[in-house]
Structures are given as structure tokens and as C-alpha cells.
Amino acid sequence: MNTKLDDFLNQAHQLDSADGLAPFRDEFVIADDALLYLDGNSLGRMPKATRQMFGDVLDHQWADRLIRSWGENWYDAPTRIGDKIAPIIGAQPGEVIVGDSTTVNLFKLVTAALSLRPGQTKIISDVLNFPTDLYTIQGVIDLLGQDHELILLPADDGIAISMEAYKAALDDDVALVTFSTPTFKSGYLHEIEAITRLAHDAGSLVLWDFSHGVGSVPIDVTNWGIDFAVGCTYKYLNGGPGSPAFLYVREQHRKEANARPWGWWGHESPFAFDLDYRAAESARQFLVGTPPVLSMLAVEPAVDLVLRAGVDAIREKAMAMGEFFVEMFDAVLAEVGFTLGSPRDPHRRGSHISLRHPEGYRICRVLIEEEQVIPDFREPDNIRLGFAPLYTRYVDCVEAVERLHRVVADRRYEAYDTHRTDIT
Amino acid sequence: MNTKLDDFLNQAHQLDSADGLAPFRDEFVIADDALLYLDGNSLGRMPKATRQMFGDVLDHQWADRLIRSWGENWYDAPTRIGDKIAPIIGAQPGEVIVGDSTTVNLFKLVTAALSLRPGQTKIISDVLNFPTDLYTIQGVIDLLGQDHELILLPADDGIAISMEAYKAALDDDVALVTFSTPTFKSGYLHEIEAITRLAHDAGSLVLWDFSHGVGSVPIDVTNWGIDFAVGCTYKYLNGGPGSPAFLYVREQHRKEANARPWGWWGHESPFAFDLDYRAAESARQFLVGTPPVLSMLAVEPAVDLVLRAGVDAIREKAMAMGEFFVEMFDAVLAEVGFTLGSPRDPHRRGSHISLRHPEGYRICRVLIEEEQVIPDFREPDNIRLGFAPLYTRYVDCVEAVERLHRVVADRRYEAYDTHRTDIT
């Protein structure tokens, strides 16, 4: 090991020993203990409880109880699991539902927001937003065929936006302000509360996409006055590949907001099979069609784990681990050409860190193919390293730095093609 | 047993012995062999192959391969499984994708159809359509805020529409004609080819929802000239509760049709993370967000089973079983107050039969609670009995008639409340 890392390794052992969340690693199936999995920010590991639950879901609920399981367990799952996610984002019971993809939920909430601000034509976002959020807005504008306009705030360093630029863009023609936070590449955590307050002062509504942080950063939609939120359940919430997203609508908006698409699961009385749509009074109005039950049920034991660990403890460890990693970056990685693609301030950063390097893509290939390290790559030069606190150890971070350093110091990436072939 | 059923029981044994599809029952997990499950038209049984696959999906793909499974197995699943569904509906490879709910897929295709027929304002459907289809259209009209109009053809007997009424409604202002077939209550199978041709002659596009029949009725989207189709995968395709729906777009429409919502999974280059949406040239353009992988993968072994059995053989058995059941209805059930809520002509009927009875709801309760028969109930008086040919036996039909008869003859339903409590 690089001798500069010796002290870090000693520290890491001490930090792991003192880590109150360390026992949670045993709650996950770790199929290959030698693998340094640093992509929990993209796909969380599988909880043992989820694995165990699937026996019951398949053999009892589906195969044995069959259609009766709708009444016994499935029909209420979107709100039951939503109510479990609620405290993780500071929402009230009855304000969160689970179902559909993040993108479809964004579509619902963009249409809902515009329905509440007729005549206001601007939507503010930023170039750091996850593209699907922007595509959703562009699609709504395209569909409405009206004079709506999407304004994207710049991020000169690729890391963060400026609050000055945001304030300058706000005026009383803004219907909606929407950002993803933390951002998917740089991990930048917006000033959520201030942004929300300023938007409200200007007469706009606010929609936050918490996909890249929920379960590992503090969120308080109630006290921060947030109108709408969505988030992904398969990253830090560990709900399984493509598990359905959640959606939050502040209770006061529920009566007036008009989210589209309409569908029978959002109807006040779906089993009356009326010919005319009538939105449910509850948050079920934001459901559309039959949700993907197997994928949805997988979210529940995973969320239970996060609730048991507590978001505050998770956040504390994530920040400490991030700081520890940045110290190693300064000591070892900067000298071989990496730059930090994330904010230095831990309060402005989520639980993943982006390292930028001109050879980022090929470095990733070596790490995956030869070094048993799984980061992910984001164009043009970002290597993302996710520090999911429930199963990542400090020693893993040291080991990852060691391998990152040697791959670059030895120029091992030169053996790889620059042509992009991976999908993650 | 009712003596009038003696001959039917003998026939049933002979029919089961001669049934070429009988061995397929063993391909499904039958947790309780005494249960008469006649609701495969709502939720198909679990294939053993699906149960077995889940070990690999959870332990290998998710827990072990983790994010690498996107490239190894998951990313292509929407088109890979779509290509397997294609021959079941007579589509070409590359025309079908799997993802999202039926309702969300309807929304995509209604917006796509209207994008191809600007200026034409009418949408024709019928009162037999599954309500979510109507809600979707109503929601699109509401969102567009334009002068679109939904015209619903009547069904005087609650069973079928008249082709005369359809022809009378068609004019050159019709943008879209859309029906569900077979219909969810009566099982009425529309004259698909004639309806499609007439719509095209009038300058309209056609969208068929095959949810309540796909996998058990013959469908030939290519030769029937169908523009758009959707369908459910958890009924006769046995894909599991809420498994994602499929969507078909005729290849010639793909370039011009503009389906909303837009999302990153429909982008030409999703991992370039461009700020602007650019639809994929392939049918992937009809994807939106990350699909629910666990629910989606469950569709594949189930579709494989249908392909192995063959839709023609499935349809042949379904028609024979339906005719056998109608004969028993005439002999035994009509006399205790049941009427037939489905077409008598087997060519105009899908694989379920609706029995109507003023006490339909309470009769269903007795069957489920006391008689080990699972039908389902549809307001106001329909008892639906689904004859899924891959695992339903002729003897099951006789036994179901026996129990239906005795529950009504003995007025056993009188012990039950008329208040609706079930969700199926």
C-alpha cells in the first residue's frame, strides 16, 4: 500500500470500530466480500430482509392467495410504504405515495404545478439537473403547445449554481422552480430552504427531486415549506433495481392540484368502474395505473432498515466518510491528476463524491475489470464514488484510494479503449 | 352433485384426457389443488419457471452483480421481452416494448395519436371500455385544453356495441378510435379488423387495448393494420401482480409519432446526459423512466410459456371450454336466476364469461369464503369466471357450476352483507 495511506488505514480501522452503523452491513447480502462496491448511490445493495420476504411474496401472496392478496396486502402498499417514507423526508402521514418511475411522477407534478399557476409561464431549473427532469419539463411544454419557457441556471464550475443567478431569474412570471439535489454528478446539495422561500416570495411553486440523496441527507419538506417532491427508492433506500419512485404533495395543494395522467388507481372509487374520472381526495389521486407489485413490495423492508438506522446517523457517517475521503484525495489522488468534482464543504455535498480525470472513463474500466472496485462513470470525465453509510466501511475508502492511485500511477488505463461501452 | 351435471362430468374427464395443453398445468405453482381459481383473467398464476428465476434475479443479478446487471441483463429487457410478446400479437421485432403501467402506456399512445392527427378533434370509444382507458383520454383532453371530444358508443344490452352505431359516429374529424377488447365485463370481442379498416377509411388512427385477452385470443396487429396497441402482462400472460404492460407502435408511425411523457429512457443516447430531449429512433423512444426490473423480469418466463403452448392452441381450448360452460349454464344455472352477461357466439367472446345475477355480489362472497371458488365481481351484478386455458381443467368448470348452483339454490348468500368490501 502507498505509504501515505498507512495513517489513513489506521484511522479507518478505528473509525470502523467506533461506527454505530457498522452492524448494518450485516443486514445486506454481501455476495462478494472482496468487491469494493461504491455505487450504492446508483443501485443500493439487497437487504437480507428483502431476500427473505420474496419467499412469502412469491409462494404465499402470489401463488397461494392469488387475487385475494390485493385486499390482504397489495392494494394499500402505495400509501403504506409512502407513509414509511414520509418521516425520511419530513412529510406528514398521507402525503406520500409510491408508484411509477421518478420520471412519470415528475410529469404528474409538473402538470399539477402548472395547473396551480395558470398564466405564469416560466420554469426555472439548472444545468446540473438530472436530464430526465429536464426532458419531462420539455415534454410537458411541447404537449401544452403554450408559451412556457424552461430557464436553466448555469454552473460555471460544473459543480454548483450561484444563488445570485437564481435570484436574478426569479420574477412573478415563474410558475415552478425545480432542481435535483444532491446533483447526480457533483453531489452538490442546494440551499433547499432558502431556494424554496425565495420561490414562494416570488409567487412560484417548488418541486424538489431528491433521488440522489433521499435516505442519506436530511430532508424536511414540511418545515421547509416544500410544495412537491419526488425521489428514487433504489439508491440509498435500497429498494431494488428500478423500484417505483415516491411522490410527495403538500396536503394543502391536494384539493386543487390537477396531476395528469389520470387513471383508475387515482379515482375516488376505482372499483365502481365509473365512466367519468373523479380524483380521489387522498394522495391516492396521484396514482395512475396498477403498480408493479413485486418491485414495489421490495421497497418496504429496505425503508424499514433506513428508519431503524435513522437518517441523522446516516448523514453523520456520510459526512464523516466524505471528509475522510477528501483528506485522502488531497494527500494521494490530486498528485496523479484527479480534481475534485464535488463541493469541498461537506454541508453542501451529498453522499457521493465525483473525481474528475481526463482519463476518467478508462480508469473506471480498469477499476471494474481488474481491481474489484465498482464506481460509475458520468460524462465527460466524472468518476462517481458513492459512500452508502449502511454498508460502506472506512477501510473500503482507503482501499479504493489505493487502487485508484495505482491504476493511474501505473497508467494501466492505457490498455483500454476510449470507446464507451458500459451501461450503468 | 346435481344429477344434471353427471353427463358433463363424464365429458369433462374425457376432454381433460384429450387436452393437449393439460400438461401445462404442471408448469405453474398450484399451492392449493382444492381451490377452483377462475380469476386468471385478472391475475394469472405463477409459473414455476418464474419462481426459479427469482433466485437468480435476487442472489446473482442484484446481490452479486449489482450495477453490472444493467449491462448484462436489465437494460435490454424492455425490448427483449417486447420482442417475445411481438409474435403473440402479430407484431414485428422491434415494434413492442415493455414498461410502465397499461394506463401510462395509453397516455403515451393517445398523445402520440393526436400528434399525428392535428386538427381532428374526436376520439371514439365505447361504454364497455375499461374505465382507465376513458380516464386517460379525459385527462389528455383536460390537459390539452383544446376542443377534443370523447364520444362513447352505447351498448344497450351491456354486452356488445353495434357496428351501425360505430359507422354512424365515424367522420373525418375523428382522430382516434380506441376500444378494449375483449371487454372487461362481458368478454365481448370486437370486430377488430373491420373496425380498424373503417377507421382508416375515415382518416382516423386506431388504438386497441388487448389487456383482457392477450395471450388467449388471436391478435394480428400487422395484417389487421393496427396503429397502436397496449396490453396487460399479468392476466393471461401470467407476468405477476402489476407487471409492466406492453406497448405496440406500428413501425411506420415511429418517426412522426410524438408520445409524452418524455424521459431519459426514451432518449436516443440516455447515458450522454444531454440537456435536450431527442427521441430514440427505435421503439425505446416509448420508454420514459427506469422500469421496475423485478416486476419486468417476471414477465419473461411467463411469456415463454405462452409461446411454447401457442396462442392458437390456447384459443382453441378457451373456445371449447367456453362452449362447454355455456351448455352447463343453459342446463343448470339459468333456472336459478343467472343470465349470460357475455356473447353467445364464441367467436365474439374472449376467455372469460360473465354471469349476471341480482345477488351477484353476495354469491361471490359465498363462493370465495365457503366454496373454494375464486371468481371476481364487477358492478353491478357480474360474476366473472375466467377460463385460463394453461391451467384450468374441464372438471374445474363442472365443479364451479355445481357450487354456483347450490349456493343459489340454497340461498346461502343471504347470510352475507350487501355492503361491498372486497378489492379484486
Mean pLDDT of A73-83: 98
Find the residue in B nearest to A65 (Cα): B31
CB contact under 8 A, A379 and B273: yes
Same domain assignment for residues A37 and A113: no
Question: Which DSSP letter does residue B349 get?
Answer: B
What pLDDT is recorded for position B156?
84
How confident is the model over A148-203, as pLDDT tens digits? Answer: 999 999 998 999 999 999 999 999 999 999 999 999 999 999 999 999 999 999 99
Backbone torsions φ then ψ of B47, nearest 5 degrees? -65, 145
Give the whole-angstrom CA distance, residue A230 versus residue A99: 11
Q: How far apart are the CA of B197 and the nearest CA of chain A, in angstroms?
A: 27
- Average pLDDT per run of 10 along chain B, which is 424 residues long? 94 98 98 96 98 98 98 97 98 98 98 97 98 98 92 95 98 98 98 98 98 98 98 98 98 97 97 96 98 98 98 98 98 97 97 97 96 94 97 98 97 91 63
pLDDT at position A299 is 98
B424 part of a folded domain: no
Active site residue: B75, B166, B210, B234, which one? B234
> Which residues on B lie below 8 Å from A61 (Cβ)?
241
Residue from A50, A66, A237 to probe the interface with B (highest B Cβ count within 10 Å):
A66
The answer on B88 and B214 residing in a single domain is yes
Write down which residue in B276, B308, B340 finishes a domain.
B308
Closest approach of chain A CAs to the CA of B6, in angstroms? Answer: 30
Same domain, A234 and A217: yes
CB-based burial of residue B174 (10 Å sphere; 0-12 exposed, 13-18 middle, 19+ buried)? buried
Beta carbons of A424 and B134 less than 8 Å apart: no
In percent, the amount of chain A with pLDDT more than 90 equals 97
Q: What pLDDT was estimated at residue B395?
A: 98
* Closest residue on chain A to B290 (Cα): A242
Q: Which residues contact B150 (CB under 8 A, 6 or more apart)?
A: B123, B125, B134, B137, B138, B141
Q: Determine the distance in angstroms separating the CA of B58 from the nearest CA of chain A, rounded to an integer.
A: 7
B126: β partners:
B153
Residue-number span of the structural domain to which A87 is assigned: 75-308
Give me the long-range contacts of B374-379 (CB less than 8 A, separation at least 24): B374/A66, B374/A67, B374/A68, B374/B35, B374/B36, B374/B37, B374/B38, B374/B39, B375/B38, B375/B39, B375/B400, B376/A67, B376/B39, B376/B42, B376/B424, B377/B422, B377/B424, B378/A273, B378/B184, B378/B185, B378/B354, B379/A271, B379/A272, B379/A273
**Residues in chain B within 8 Å Cβ distance of A97:** none
Q: Which residues contact B412 (CB under 8 A, 6 or more apart)?
A: B366, B370, B406
pTM over 0.90: yes
Q: B414 by DSSP, 3-state: which?
A: helix
Mean pLDDT to the nearest integer, A236-258? 97
Give the 3-state DSSP-derived string for A83-112, with helices as H, strands as E and coil as C: HHHHHHHCCCCCCEEECCCHHHHHHHHHHH
Per the annotation, the verdict on B147 as an active-site residue is no
Residue B325, in any domain of the structure = yes
One domain for residues B166 and B292: yes
Question: Pick from B4, B3, B1: which is nearest to B331 by CA?
Answer: B4
* Residue A178 and residue A250 in one domain: yes
How much is the pLDDT for B422? 62
Question: Are both B217 and B94 inside the same structural domain?
Answer: yes
- Domain harbouring A347, CATH code: 3.90.1150.10
Which of A132, A264, A420 has the CB atom closest to B131's CB atom? A264
Q: Return the closest-CA partner of residue A24 out of A299, A390, A422, A297.
A: A390
Looking at residue B146, what is its pLDDT?
73
Q: Which of B282, B308, B334 is the last residue of a domain?
A: B308
End-to-end CA distance of chain A: 29
Within a domain: A28 = yes
Average predicted confidence (pLDDT) for chain A? 97
Does residue A179 fall inside a structural domain?
A: yes
Query: Which three three-digit cell numbers place residue B134?
Result: 376513458
Q: Is B56 a domain residue?
A: no
Distance from C-alpha of A403 to C-alpha of A408, rounded to nearest angstrom: 9
Local confidence band at A145 (pLDDT 50, 70, 90 cut-offs): confident
Q: Is A209 a catalytic residue?
A: yes
pLDDT at A424 > cutoff 90: no
Same domain? B33 vs B92: no
- CA distance linking residue B137 with residue B87, whole number of Å: 28
Does the structure's ipTM exceed the value 0.90?
A: yes
Write down which residue in A292, A308, A324 finishes a domain.
A308
Q: Extract the C-alpha cell encoding A381.
A: 470525465
Residue B173 grid cell: 374529424
- Whether A235 is catalytic: yes
Helix (H, G, I), strand (E, B) or coil at B177: strand
**Regarding beta strands A228-231 and A205-209, do their DSSP bridges make them parallel or antiparallel, or are they unpaired?**
parallel
A196, A318: one domain: no
Q: Where are the beta strands (DSSP E) in B234-379?
A: 246-249, 339-340, 352-356, 373-374, 376-378
- Same domain for B301 and B324, yes or no, is no
> Is A384 a catalytic site residue?
yes
Residue with cell 446526459: B273
Number of domains chain A is built from: 2
* Residue A365 domain flag: yes
Q: Cβ A103–B263 below 8 Å, yes or no?
A: yes
CATH number of the structural domain spanning residue A217: 3.40.640.10
Tell me the chain A residues in contact with residue B244 when contact means C-beta distances shorter than 8 Å: 292
Which long-range contacts (C-beta less than 8 Å, at least 24 apart) are formed by A56-63? A57/A294, A57/A297, A58/B46, A58/B50, A58/B51, A58/B54, A59/B29, A59/B31, A59/B51, A60/B31, A61/B241, A62/B43, A62/B46, A62/B240, A62/B241, A63/B29, A63/B30, A63/B31, A63/B45, A63/B46, A63/B51
Check if the beta carbon of residue A394 is closer than 8 Å to that of residue A321: yes
Residues in chain A closer than 8 A to B59 (CB atoms): 29, 31, 51
A24 close to A309: Cβ distance less than 8 angstroms: yes
How close is the nearest chain A Cα to the Cα of B351, in Å? Answer: 18
- Which pLDDT does position B423 carry in this prediction? 63
Contact flag B43-A51 (C-beta cutoff 8 Å): no
Q: Flag if A131 and B274 touch (Cβ within 8 Å).
A: yes
Q: Do B130 and A295 touch (CB under 8 A)?
A: no
Of A27, A99, A102, A66, the closest CA to residue A297 belongs to: A99
Tell me which residue has cell 365481481. Answer: B377
Q: Which of A344, A366, A370, A369 is nearest to A357 (CA)?
A: A366
Residue A423 has what pLDDT?
A: 63
Q: How would DSSP label each residue in A173-217? A: TEEEEEEESS-TTT-B---HHHHHHHHHHTT-EEEEE-TTTBTTB
3-class DSSP string for B53-71: HHHHHHHHHHHHHHHHHHH
Based on the fold, state whether residues A189 and A279 are members of the same structural domain.
Answer: yes
Residue B368 Cα, gap to closest chain A Cα (Å): 9
Q: A294 and B101 in contact by Cβ < 8 A?
A: no
Contacts with A33 (C-beta within 8 Å, 6 or more apart), sequence order: none
Closest CA to B423 of A270, A281, A277, A94: A270
**To which H or E segment does residue A11 belong?**
helix A6-18
Instruction: State the pLDDT at residue B418.
Output: 87
pLDDT tens-digit series, residues A181-196? 999 999 999 999 999 9
pLDDT of residue A86 exceeding 90: yes
Q: What distance in Å separates the CA atoms of residue A376 and residue B422, rounded to the nearest whole number?
A: 47
**Is B342:B14 a contact under the CB 8 Å cutoff?**
no
Is B347 in contact with B323 (CB distance < 8 Å)? no
In a domain, B273, yes or no: yes
Q: How many CB pairs under 8 A join A and B?
A: 300
pLDDT at B188: 98
A95 and A43 within one domain: no
For position B133, what pLDDT does the model report? Answer: 98
A234 is annotated as an active-site residue? yes
pLDDT higher than 70, residue A378: yes
Instruction: Indicate if B239 and B200 belong to the same structural domain.
Output: yes
Task: Return the amino acid letter for A319.
Answer: M
Question: Are B272 and A379 inside 8 Å of each other by CB?
Answer: yes
Q: In this structure, is the dihedral angle defined by the CA atoms of residues B370, B374, B375 and B378, taken in order, positive or negative? A: positive
Domain assignment of residue B423, yes or no: no
**CA A262, CA A279: separation in Å to the nearest integer?**
8
User: Which of A46, A131, A142 shows the shortest C-beta gap to B58?
Assistant: A46
Does the beta-carbon distance from A64 to B31 stay under 8 Å? Answer: yes
What is the predicted pLDDT for the residue at A418?
87
Interface contact A292-B242, CB threshold 8 A: yes
